[in-house]
Structure 1
Amino acid sequence: MKKFLKVLLILIVIVIVIVGILAAIAPKTILVQRSTTIKGSKSAVFAQMTHFKNWPNWSPWYEMDTAVQMTYFGNDGEVGSGYHWVGDPKKSGEGEITNQNLNGDSMQFSLKFIKPFKSEATGYLVATDSGGMTNATWIFIMDNSFPHSIFSSIFSMDKMLGKDFEHGLDKMKQYVESHPEPVAENTAPAIQDTKYPMHIYAGIRKSMKWDELSAFFQESYSKIGQAAGSSVNGPAAAIYYKWDTDNQSTDVAAVMPVANEVTATGIVPIRVESSKALMAVHKGGYASEGAVHDALMSKVKEMGKKQHLVVEEYIKGPGQEKDSTKWITNIYYLYQ
């Protein structure tokens, strides 16, 4: 009997030591983050994120427990809104989500678990313009103090939650891309029939996928600006030679108008001759330009003309204004 108690005591001590080691080496905070790029406007993506009544369109948690009961509160889409859920104790349990803060690009929300165990976490959903599309990010942050740290030392929360986040973002992507925003008649862009003057540009031209555009423009404008210096005499622009919707690719040049031709490694002079053009002004983030482009393309076809170049002039952008709703882009469709 004494031998048994001695062995038992040793086992208990070993367990305590193991628990202590696991608690000591476990991270103090759990952070899970996943992102995807969505072909849709920032406003469309952000509406799915900030309006809790839209969450059934994409949230993986609704698939886990289809019988869950939701009670919404507050003005959906505004700070203070949220919902309380009660579901199967073995699946979703009980808890509450509340919109804590909005800043135009992200929503911070609190996540409170009530049953089967009590716990709290903070989440963020972020939508940012990304080269004509929208980058959507889902972030989860939770305190990892004892005894939760023991569980997280054995099981990877990043893998467990990350898989759900990836599935949810993929569903959001599918929903937004299959439900384009309608354009009301009174918001149709004003189109001018004008003449695009001859321009001499310093530029970098490349064929690429759409999701590479943002990084390409950022790097290219920096190089051109350094090489051209005081010769730059107008706003940065992009010349689109081809836009392939099926393969989500484009042939584009990042350019800056210059008084004199600039020669530098990787930078070439690009001359655009004077041409008849249709022009419209877009106000807002680049991901929401689609309606303006659609209107210009339709007008070119209606006139029986053939478009040969598309030029976007970035009058005001992220370099001058952080708020994307205040960005201004002149869009020209040069036609023959």
Structure 2
Amino acid sequence: MLKMILLGLLGVVVLAVVVVLVLASRKPDEFRVTRSILIAAPPEAVFPHIEDLQAWQAWSAYEDKDPDMRRTLGNPSRGVGATYAWDGDGNVGAGQMTVVEATAPSHVRIALDFTRPMQAHNLADFSLQPEAGGTRVTWTMHGPALLITKVMQVLMDMDQMVGRDFAAGLAKLKTRVEADAPRP
């Protein structure tokens, strides 16, 4: 009797794994998370807060997740070639970001190389577009969706999880910039 129960449980587990893998195989080969906010300031006032990786400590939501994480800023801290490495607890993991494009005052592209809790290589794009009332700042992260990423997408809503952090960071960026910037 115990053997049949164990075989039944094993069958359920195998079936669950197969279902998750089938669902994961149907996910797109790339992922994309995007959030935006309107900041009541001109693009020239917003751009330095994004291009200068040292400035991120004042607004990035990930800074709040682990205030004790170890940070290493490269020299220079702004513009193409600027780097920022972090090593923290399970909430933020470890990795490095490198500014690979900076077109003032409209666009910044950052290469994100995560090393822990798993390896991933993604891009983050910041678009700054003038709009009535200020600047529309759009933060997008995109990259390849490997099998593990696809499995995670089946089990949790990554857009909501990462998007929540982006929205919180953009809200802090808005507060920071609007406190110091001239109105558009």
TM-score greater than 0.5 by the shorter chain: yes
Instruction: Tell me if 1:107 matches 2:131.
Output: no
CA distance in 2, matches of 1:28, 1:43: 35
What's the counterpart of residue 83 of structure 1? 84
**If each structure's strand is expressed as a fraction of its own residues, which one has the higher value?**
1
Three-state SS of the structure 1 residue aligned to 2:110 is: strand
Change (3 A) 1:8 1:131: closer
Could you say what the CA RMSD is over the residues aligned between the two structures, in angstroms? Answer: 1.9
What's the counterpart of residue 57 of structure 2? 56
Q: Which has the larger radius of gyration?
A: 1
Change (3 A) 1:165 1:14: same
Unaligned runs of 5+ in 2: none
What's the counterpart of residue 98 of structure 2? 98
What's the counterpart of residue 242 of structure 1? none
Deviation at 1:132, TM superposition (A): 4.9
The answer to whether the Cα contact below 8 Å between 1:30 and 1:157 also exists between their aligned partners in 2 is: no
Q: 1:153-192, aligned counterparts within 5 Å?
A: 153-180=154-181
CA distance in 2, matches of 1:8, 1:42: 58
The answer to whether the Cα contact below 8 Å between 2:24 and 2:153 also exists between their aligned partners in 1 is: no
The answer to whether the Cα contact below 8 Å between 2:97 and 2:112 also exists between their aligned partners in 1 is: yes
Cα deviation 1:21-64 (Å, max 9, x = unaligned)? 22122222221111111111211101111100111121101011
Q: Which amino acid aligns with 1:77?
A: R
The answer to whether the Cα contact below 8 Å between 2:20 and 2:154 also exists between their aligned partners in 1 is: no
Q: Which amino acid aligns with 1:171?
A: K
CA distance in 2, matches of 1:126, 1:50: 11
Alignment coverage as a number of residue pairs: 182
Q: Which amino acid aligns with 2:153?
A: S
Q: Which amino acid aligns with 1:44?
A: A
Deviation at 1:125, TM superposition (A): 1.1
Cα deviation 1:242-266 (Å, max 9, x = unaligned)? xxx9xxxxxxxxxxxxxxxxxxxxx
Q: 1:175-324, aligned counterparts within 5 Å?
A: 175-180=176-181, 287=184
TM-score normalised by length of structure 2 = 0.89
The answer to whether the Cα contact below 8 Å between 1:82 and 1:99 also exists between their aligned partners in 2 is: yes
**If each structure's helix is expressed as a fraction of its own residues, which one has the higher value?**
2
What's the counterpart of residue 331 of structure 1? none
The answer to whether the Cα contact below 8 Å between 1:35 and 1:166 also exists between their aligned partners in 2 is: yes
Three-state SS of the structure 2 residue aligned to 1:147 is: helix
Deviation at 1:142, TM superposition (A): 2.7
The answer to whether the Cα contact below 8 Å between 1:86 and 1:92 also exists between their aligned partners in 2 is: yes
CA distance in 2, matches of 1:143, 1:94: 19
Unaligned runs of 5+ in 1: 182-244, 246-286, 288-336
CA distance in 1, matches of 2:112, 2:96: 6
What's the counterpart of residue 132 of structure 2? 131
Range with greater deviation from structure 2 (121-130 or 19-28): 19-28
Q: Which amino acid aligns with 1:7?
A: G
Deviation at 1:100, TM superposition (A): 1.0
Instruction: Tell me if 1:10 matches 2:11.
Output: yes
CA distance in 2, matches of 1:2, 1:175: 63
- Using the aligned pairs only, state the percent identity: 27
TM-score normalised by length of structure 1 = 0.51
CA distance in 2, matches of 1:147, 1:134: 36
CA distance in 2, matches of 1:41, 1:101: 20
CA distance in 1, matches of 2:84, 2:75: 9
CA distance in 2, matches of 1:165, 1:117: 20
Greater RCO structure (CA 8 Å; 6+ sep): 2
The answer to whether the Cα contact below 8 Å between 2:25 and 2:147 also exists between their aligned partners in 1 is: no
